[in-house]
Amino acid sequence: MRYPRPTVVISRCIDFDSCRYNGQVIRASLREELEPFVDLLPICPELEIGLGVPRDPVRLVQEGRKQEVRLLQPSTGRDLTRAMSSFAKRFLDSLEEVDGFVLKSRSPSCAIGDAKRFHSDREDDGYDSGPGLFAAHVLDRFPDAAIEDEARLKDPRVRDRFLTRLFALAAFRQVTAEATLAALTEFHRANEPLLRACDETRLRRLDRLVADAPARVGPDHLRRYRSELAAALT
């Protein structure tokens, strides 16, 4: 079986370009370590919605009974929520194949879980933590993808789990392309030891999906297998 190279969307400020709000770039070995083995697609959502470099900082504000999250630029009073959400939808819908995301930690746009969400637009107000606005769309649109930030990937255990999930999902793209029982069975047998080590309960579910698969495997069946595969490797 031919294994496709994983496609990874990565924050452009991570060793690609000096595009952070303060004109800096995040130096990391991550890019040069990944680049020989994956196809990287760098993106800076804040640049894409027209903010320059350097630029006044933006922040997330979560207030009101509905706890709606807005992306604001306090110095100018601009509400960038609609612009960022529209860009995120267009960009993510345009991706033909993507297996993972490496996003900037603590960013109000790209953080996957540690962005500050302030209770008001006052500078001294309290905050909770959550995903950045662009990252929230990523998590909703690609729930099965391998998604991490550059800070967490410094932990060898986190990196190992991320890479395992990333390459397994990329390999499964070939199964989806062939959509045959033979391809699904070959993939499942090759990955059975890994799945047994990760999650035996989900391995049994995957066993049943392979056992119940027809000779020509339909897209719904393949989606269910991929979802269980991703969950087993979480």
Encode pLDDT of 77-111 as tens digits: 999 999 999 999 999 999 989 999 999 999 999 99
- Residue 149 located in a structural domain: yes
Claim to verify: residue 46 and residue 146 sit in the same structural domain? yes
Residue 1 has pLDDT above 70, yes or no: no
Claim to verify: residue 117 and residue 220 sit in the same structural domain? no
Q: What was the pLDDT predicted at 177? A: 94
- Residue 53 located in a structural domain: yes
Claim to verify: residue 150 and residue 191 sit in the same structural domain? no
Contacts of residues 88-91 at CB distance under 8 Å and 24 or more positions apart, as own/partner, are 88/45, 88/133, 88/134, 88/137, 88/138, 89/137, 91/43, 91/45, 91/48
Token reading at 81: 């929520």
Alpha carbons 13 and 47: distance in angstroms, whole number? 11
- Residue 161 located in a structural domain: no
Q: What is the largest CA-CA distance in the chain?
A: 62
Alpha carbons 18 and 7: distance in angstroms, whole number? 23
- Residue 159 located in a structural domain: no
Claim to verify: residue 133 and residue 196 sit in the same structural domain? no
Q: Mean pLDDT, to the nearest integer, of 184-202?
A: 96
Domain count, the chain: 2
User: Whole domain around residue 221: which residue ranges?
Assistant: 179-232
Alpha carbons 106 and 100: distance in angstroms, whole number? 19
Q: Residue 14: name the closest of 87, 101, 79 by CA.
A: 101
Claim to verify: residue 57 and residue 91 sit in the same structural domain? yes
Alpha carbons 30 and 157: distance in angstroms, whole number? 15
Whether pTM > 0.75 for this model: the answer is: yes
